[in-house]
Amino acid sequence: MSTPAMWCGQSVERVEDAALLTGRGRFIDDLGVKPGTLHAAILRSPHAHARVKAIRADPARQAPGVAAVLTGEDVTKLCASLVVGVKAPIECWPIATDRVRYVGEPVAVVVAASRYVAEDAVDLIEVDYEALPAVVDPLAALDTAQPVLHEGLRGNLASERSFCYGDPEGTFAHAAHRVSVTIRYPRNSCTPMETYGVVAEYDVGEDAYDVLANFMGPFSLHAVMARALKVPGGRFRLRTPPDSGGSFGVKQGVFPYIVLMGVASRATGRPVKWVEDRLEHLAASVSATNRVTVLDAAVDADGRVRALAWDQVEDVGAHIRAPEPATLYRMHGNLTGAYDIRHVSVRNRVVLTNKAPTGLNRGFGGPQVYYALERLMQRIAIELGLDPVEVIRRNLIPSGAFPYKTATGATLDSGDYAKAFENALADGGFAALREKQKEARAQGRVYGIGLTAAVEPSVSNMGYITTVLTPEERRKAGPKNGAQATATVALDPLGGVSVHVASVPQGQGHRTVLAQIVADALGLKPADIRVITEMDTARDAWSIASGNYSSRFAAATGGAAHLAAGKIKAKLARIAGAQLNVAANEVEFADGKARARGNPDNAVAFSRLAAASHWSPGLVPVENQALRETVFWTPPELTPPSANDEINSSLCHAFIFDFCGVEIDRTTCAVRIDKYVTMHDCGRILHPGMVAGQITGGFAHALGAALYEEYAYGPDGSFLTGTFADYLVPTAMEVPNPVILHLETPSPFTPLGTKGVGEGNCMSTPVCIANAVADALGVAEINLPLSPAKIAAHLHGAERTPRKPQAKPVAGKGRTLHGSGQAQAAAPPQAVWAMLLDPKTLAAIIPGCHGVERLSDTHFRAEVTLGVGPVTGRYKADIVLSDLTAPKAVTLTGVVTGALGNGGGTGRITLAATDDGGTTLAYEYDAEVGGKVAAIGGRLLDGAARIVIRQFFAALARHTGGKKPGYLARLFGRGA
């Protein structure tokens, strides 16, 4: 009954493209909203860690056009904390309550008539913070003496588990060699070009929420959101727009904002729309985890690895936001990579630090694991004096061993790693690359070669995350597992075919591929199939695994669509058999017809057949009514973790082998990718053009992670890469064309033999490039991103220390400044003293001052605009006077806060009368600057501070002298 595949395997044009190319996409911000919809803007924390002492929002609330200002206090009344995935006494709110724990954490939401008005009102909100020391480094976070982020925990360690598979201890004890690497994997993010968007509406009559958001799944988070909004799942309707501008995992992180905007709608009784801006996205959406890993191998003399010992410290940021700590456990079944290693020990720790919470990001856990494992493989070769190619070859899982069960519990479905590896070396021109390196080195050039083998897991087992719980805790909670995929194929009264899936694409072309799959099943053309991928939890078939993540589309959703089409087809075959007078299994579907096999003239048009159950159900036996078929498919291989903590964390496993040649410019220390070869075995390929697109796209992300991208934090937790000018994303200039090779070993576990392919290069490429750079430089330890500054240290030695001592950042704190000076005023001390205490005079003489408010005789509040180097921002200053000895001396203690940074300090001013009736002012100050401005070099900062202080006294001079401001100003300028 089957017809040979016609459309699958071809790079057909995408049905998505015509609209996207002509500006007719339907992204969330392109869709109109209901009249009366309000717009939200969010006030965010400038501090990495601070107590929120007071929020003064009345001026914002009273501003014209503002409907509401919601603070933590308001929000917590209307919702519950987001569920946390580990057993620990901590909460996770979508907005700060009593404390802020990372730069960018929401502090208040303004809901207003327009986005412009809402943003204006955000500026009117005043927050009193009491800055607290920040914990930034994940290893420092293990130290219980450090500040604690969540008081429910005694330290910042949120979860710890140890695992043992086989006999790692015994194997290490008897090993010929022990080789070890320590790596620090940085934070980065795939930053989709479209940011988050939410339109939320609360229906008070039904106590129900209706939300449109560019969320991507997993829809297990639907349960988390519904619980947070305190409604049953059926009263939380979540819809997605037809188009979404990329995700790469990141759009999972919109979910706390869905809760927040749901609450805002409930509080205002109106629909509320919020579109994140890029600065918010960079600071506070989601990033990959940063991780510190120590990985040891027990190795035979010939380079065969017998055991691994993993020690991973995972930094999830300030909250364990669902589904974290999934990043740490996604690869749990795959900790032995592409290698046959039977003994493994694992120690996993999850820590909290003052950084943005982490979440899904392309590669999800893979980059961190392979960076350690593949750096280790290179080190084994070097330390044992072997060829790295040989070390990989000797350790690969042998051909014919599939399905292969790994030590930690994964079942590698299919593959021929040895063949893919040898093909890649031969077809990719490895020998020639070695020759090229030899030549380059002979000419004194800095040239290196890197290699990586990796297994790319796809179709996540929803139960893998429960490996974070002990077997005992799991027993209590009940087993979790599976990966329900759904698809519906429906026939309309004109005999047309439509497909509905819960795959929520973000640009991957799901509609095209599903049309190919269903067209093949039914003997139609893709153009005959209408595919709907926008999702509506109130109407569509879905389950917790629904969504667009863990590269599950081709394998799981595509497979489910194939099965649903098969069910419809079986029914249609019976109806056709009756009409054509042949047995159902003699009916074949081709060319838009159902026909008798071997007698193509005995046929009925597909559309007529497909319409039959609508128009003439009487002619169709009840059990054969062919109208709509929904398939839920979950693979039986995805079982819960075993009592021994073995976990088949993913269904499919693609194989990747990459090698590359890089050259480093001796002068600029820039890394140039000379050649990059990537071999993929991702099972059966449905659309070669899209597979190539996934590989080149993933490769570009990985190149960015390897060379440029890092969500960087200062030692005080200030966020340093808050714009696309700081967070450097590769452009066409930096991304070379990789050479892509394939081997196709179909998966026996998926309906179409397909596997995932979208994340592989994010796992393999960063470490492949790092291995090449390490080879070029001959260094043992190297961490990403491989910026010229880092490479310069290896090529040219450490930078010389500047002659002038500079302000230094202190861990957990900002940059400290210290200064003193003297100035002359023409007026006597009493007059100068009066001026110093007069808000009007102060407003006139403080540089960039917008006004001074006197809260008491000794407490002033000022608003100032200050420029430090290229960074100009508006700050609020709170100044308290103490130790007053009129008119001789006063101590000023001040706190300055603004979006670009914050500071605090103390200065002592002494006034002494001079012989000519004037005053000598002497001052001394100690200050500390944090936040973004602190990232500016110390010299600039010192200089700026000096200038501001000089300007202050110069202005005071003008005030005291009156007649000769120029001359006096010059006199005053001497100090500072």
Partner 1 sequence: MPRLSAERRHRVRFTLNGSAVEAEAEPRMLLTDFLRHELGMTGTHVGCEHGVCGACTIEINGVPARACLTLAVQADGATIRTVEALAPEPGRLSILQEAFRRHHALQCGFCTAGILMSLDNYLRQRPNPTEENLRVFLGGHLCRCTGYVPILAAAMDAAKRLREVPANA
Q: Does 190 bind partner 1 (CB under 8 A)?
A: yes
| Binds 698: which of partner 1, ligand FES, none (CB < 5-8 Å by kind) | partner 1
Task: Return the range that interacts with partner 1 (CB under 8 A); candidates 148-156, 219-227, 721-729, 789-797.
Answer: 721-729
Helix (H) or strand (E) holding 38: strand 38-44
Q: Does 850 bind partner 1 (CB under 8 A)?
A: no
Q: What would the 3-class secondary structure string for 707-740 be?
A: HCCCCCECCCCCECCCCCCCCCCCCCCCCCCCEE
Q: Does 901 bind ligand FES (CB under 6 A)?
A: no
Cis peptide before 218 (omega within 30 of 0): yes
Of 332, 290, 295, 311, give the one whose Cα is nearest residue 184: 290
Window 195 to 224, contacts with ligand FES (CB under 6 A)? none
Phi, psi values for residue 92, rounded to 5°: -145, 100
Phi, psi values for residue 857, rounded to 5°: -55, -30
Window 685 to 714, contacts with partner 1 (CB under 8 A)? 689-690, 692-693, 695-701
What single-letter DSSP state applies at residue 48? Answer: S
Identify which of residues 193 and 442 has a Cβ nearer to ligand FES in the complex. 193
Axis-axis angle for helices 430-442, 417-427 (nearest 10) = 50
Of 375, 193, 284, 357, give the one whose Cα is nearest residue 784: 375
| Binds 889: which of ligand FES, partner 1, none (CB < 5-8 Å by kind) | none
Least distance in angstroms from the C-beta of 697 to ligand FES: 8
Other beta carbons less than 10 A from residue 56's beta carbon: 12
Least distance in angstroms from the C-beta of 726 to partner 1: 10
Of 313, 258, 324, give the one whose Cα is nearest residue 287: 324
Task: Return the range that interacts with partner 1 (CB under 8 A); candidates 105-113, 501-509, 789-797, 900-908.
Answer: 501-509
Q: Does 507 bind ligand FES (CB under 6 A)?
A: yes
The CA-CA-CA angle for residues 82, 106, 230, to 5°, reads 30
Exactly one of 30, 130, 427, 853 binds partner 1 (CB under 8 A); which one? 30
Least distance in angstroms from the C-beta of 138 to partner 1: 27
Identify which of residues 240 and 408 has a Cβ nearer to partner 1 in the complex. 240
Least distance in angstroms from the C-beta of 702 to ligand FES: 16
The CA-CA-CA angle for residues 634, 638, 639, to 5°, reads 120
Window 107 to 126, contacts with partner 1 (CB under 8 A)? 116
In 124-260, at which residue ranges do the beta strands (DSSP E only) sit?
A: 126-131, 157-165, 177-185, 197-203, 208-213, 236-239
Q: Does 870 bind partner 1 (CB under 8 A)?
A: no
Window 235 to 294, contacts with partner 1 (CB under 8 A)? 243-246, 248, 277-279
Least distance in angstroms from the C-beta of 741 to ligand FES: 24
Q: Does 106 bind ligand FES (CB under 6 A)?
A: no
319 SS3 class: coil
| Binds 953: which of partner 1, ligand FES, none (CB < 5-8 Å by kind) | none
Q: Does 193 bind ligand FES (CB under 6 A)?
A: yes
| Binds 191: which of partner 1, ligand FES, none (CB < 5-8 Å by kind) | partner 1
Least distance in angstroms from the C-beta of 360 to ligand FES: 17
Of 452, 481, 507, give the one whose Cα is nearest residue 738: 452
Exactly one of 9, 25, 403, 867 binds partner 1 (CB under 8 A); which one? 25
Q: Does 249 bind ligand FES (CB under 6 A)?
A: no
- Distance CA(437)–CA(434), nearest Å, equals 5
Confirm if 238 and 215 have CB atoms less than 8 A apart: yes
Other beta carbons less than 10 A from residue 563's beta carbon: 19
- Distance CA(881)–CA(894), nearest Å, equals 9
**Distance of CA 580 to CAs 600, 603, 871, 966, Å?**
11, 7, 79, 106
Enter the tokens of residue 228. Answer: 């947070």
CA count, 13 A, side-chain hemisphere, 425: 17
What is the pattern of x (binds ligand FES, CB under 6 A) and - over residues 634-653?
Answer: --------------------
Amino acid code (one letter) for 327: T
Residue listed under structure tokens 């497979």: 559
Other beta carbons less than 10 A from residue 616's beta carbon: 10
What is the pattern of x (binds ligand FES, CB under 6 A) and - over residues 467-506?
Answer: ----------------------------------------
Least distance in angstroms from the C-beta of 21 to partner 1: 4
Exactly one of 4, 23, 205, 805 binds partner 1 (CB under 8 A); which one? 23
| Binds 965: which of partner 1, ligand FES, none (CB < 5-8 Å by kind) | none
| Binds 798: which of ligand FES, partner 1, none (CB < 5-8 Å by kind) | none
- Distance CA(588)–CA(2), nearest Å, equals 7
What single-letter DSSP state applies at residue 892? Answer: E
Least distance in angstroms from the C-beta of 740 to partner 1: 9
Q: Would strands 529-532 and 497-501 be described as parallel, antiparallel, or unpaired?
A: parallel
Q: Does 683 bind ligand FES (CB under 6 A)?
A: no
Closest residue to ligand FES, judged by C-beta, is 193
Q: Does 828 bind ligand FES (CB under 6 A)?
A: no
Q: Does 246 bind ligand FES (CB under 6 A)?
A: yes
Q: Does 867 bind ligand FES (CB under 6 A)?
A: no
Identify which of residues 20 and 884 has a Cβ nearer to partner 1 in the complex. 20
Task: Give the CA-trace dihedral at 808, 811, 812, 813, to 10 degrees.
Answer: -10
- Residues interacting with partner 1, by CB under 8 A? 11, 13-14, 16-18, 20-25, 27, 29-30, 116, 190-195, 243-246, 248, 277-279, 506-509, 689-690, 692-693, 695-701, 723-725, 729, 731-733, 735, 737-738
- Residues interacting with ligand FES, by CB under 6 A? 193, 246, 507
